[in-house]
Amino acid sequence: MNTLTTNFSTKYTSAPFVQIENSDFKPAIMQLIEETKEEINAIVNNPEAPTFKNTIEALEFSGQQLNRVTSIFFNLNSAETNDEIQKIAQEVSPLLSEFGNDITLNEDLFKRVKVVYNQMKDLNLSVEQTTLLDKKYKGFSRNGANLKADAKVKLREIDKKLAKLKLTFGENILAETNKYELLITSEEALSGLPEGAKEAAKQLAESKNKDGWLITLDYPSYIPFMTYADNRELREELSKAFGSKAFKGDALDNQQNVLDIAKLSYDRAQLLGYKTHAHFVLEERMAETPEKVETFLNELLEKAKPAAENEFETLENFAKALDGIKALQKWDSAYYSEKLKQKLFSLDDEQLKPYFKLENVIAGAFMVAEKLFNLHFEEIHDIDKYHEEVLTYKVTNDKGDFISLFYADFFPRKGKRNGAWMTSYKSQYIQNNENERPHVSIVCNFTKPTKTKPSLLTFNEVTTLFHEFGHALHGMLANTTYPSLSGTSVYWDFVELPSQVMENWCYEKEALELFATHYETGAVIPMELIDKIKASATFQQGMQTLRQISFGLLDMAWYGTNPTSITDVKAYESNAFSDTDLYPDIPTSCMSTTFAHIFQGGYSSGYYSYKWAEVLDADAFDYFKQEGIFNKDVATKFKDHVLSQGGTENPVILYERFRGQAAKPEALLRRAGLIK
């Protein structure tokens, strides 16, 4: 019997990674699709009149094992993939897409849902039940249930194609990242590179039986080189390699995938009666319309652009004075920014890193969660892991109640995609009076320990860890009845609030003194360094804000218009960037072909939400600052009205309930130093 097709008999019903073979996945998914179809048929063929319980709730709790197994599978495809898993992903994605359509295009099922939906006002439902009913109805209507038969067939074809295209898009980026290596054989060429980065490059070369130092396009290798290496030619080579990923006109090229994904997304929206894909997406967001998003981004652009242009001019003049370079290029950006930052604040990551040993930062995140939300984290060794490097924790509250399982996976490896993310292996929900607790995971790509040093994080990596941990808290503290409204299952422009707000504690003396201690001496981070961290927090904020706005505008350019006539990805991108570009263009570089957030990861028409959520997070943390950053009353309000509520209610209402008022952008602009 396939382990995956039964409820897991493991401790905490955790994922039985050790027992699973890759070959188990496809047959299990196929079997569970059939079992879920039977559950759906039972709802459809129920002779009783449709009710909230026998139709909406029954539908909500159908396919639970299928959801668990697919979440395990796709999480592994991101964090621990290989050729076999990628091949299975290509085979099961269309099956799951087809099955999803089987449900949303099931006319008899939709009729039952519609009956309950039309009775909504008379059913005396709770707020959460009303939200679920609305979501279930829209799950059908927004996915073609009201379409005629031929249009439904067309929709199925589009969804199958999109599922495969998105997978291929991501696989091409991963293959391009893994393929490139810069082997340096002369130590002189490593001038400027910190010892830790040199040692990591040496170790990487040794692991591949090569002499010298190996630099790759993985962030822990790429970023230190771009930030510190004095050799401008090598920085240029590396930057161009990074920028040209999936943009070389070869088998791994993503240009046609970009055009096809944009075009099919548009066709899908049109089929469903929406003007563009962005109009379709934003109907279910706080922002509501593409026009509101563009207004929001352009208002920020107006505030940020003058500051960004001044910062760029300052940086270029600094680089010219220092090294006599004629024009600042993209491969100079991180290098001279770091030099200028050191000059202005006498602060660099190498000074800070000794105070941010990974284990201490993890402990720090746990301490902050304990002070705010009474959570306790205990490392455990009695549940399966998908890789030996993964850390596993049991999370409890002050009363000793089991709150969550927590998996943490911190280092890059071959089968793991770049970046950092939070995910879940099991949702929280309440069924049969049992509060099923969630299994939550964060995945990052931090610098590995070397033979002589532990993993020491850059300050940017520290904030990344706190960011993903904020998402994790949103998952862990979930306390809703229905799994599809639980934890991070909220509007996309609200989902970044818990993650971004957590980053703020990294800048506060009271929090830093809990965990920022020197890995060799144990000395607490000096006050002067904390002051410098805070002072440097607004460094180049104009340029940073402009960069985020540019990504948001590019996203809206692809999805907020009719893309049918676009033939040249690079030219179209350049036009979208025209108001935000500071650096000279590199003809061989293209952002769109690696923009996985919007072409693979679910952020299409949603990239603006990072800035949108920053407005919320700055406003929320302003409240904490007024009352004290560890104020229990404010933290409890945040837990009760935001973290525990998931998507049970409109986030505008949830936020105002926590804050007592709507969010205002002033706190963000002040924090970024863009207004006084």
CA 565 to CA 441: how far, in whole Å? Answer: 41
CA 489 to CA 501: how far, in whole Å? Answer: 18
Alpha-carbon radius of gyration of the chain:
25
Catalytic site includes residue 468: yes
- Neighbour-count burial for 373-405, b at 16+ CB within 10 Å, e otherwise: bbbebeeeeebbbbeeebbbbbbbeeeeeebbb
Reduced to 3 states, what is the DSSP secondary structure of residue 414? coil
- Neighbour-count burial for 8-20, b at 16+ CB within 10 Å, e otherwise: bebebbbbbbeeb
DSSP one-letter code for 216? -
Q: Provide the terminal-to-terminal Cα distance of the chain, rounded to the nearest Å.
A: 66
Q: Which of 461, 468, 496, 573 is catalytic?
A: 468
Q: Interior CA angle at 539 toward 535 and 545, to 5°?
A: 130
Instruction: Extract the tokens encoding 640.
Output: 């009760």
Q: What is the DSSP string of 424-474?
A: EEE--EEETTEEEPPEEEEE--PPPP-SS---B--HHHHHHHHHHHHHHHH
- Other C-beta atoms within 10 Å of 223: how many? 17
Phi, psi (deg, nearest 5) at residue 559 = -110, -10
Instruction: Extract the tokens encoding 555.
Output: 């996203």
Q: What is the DSSP string of 585-628?
A: P-TT--SGGG-HHHHTSS-TTTTTHHHHHHHHHHHHHHHHHHH-
For residue 94, CA distances in Å to 24, 75, 157, 258 come to 18, 17, 10, 19
CA atoms within 13 A on the CB side of 226: 23
- Other C-beta atoms within 10 Å of 233: how many? 10
Name the residues annotated as catalytic. Answer: 468
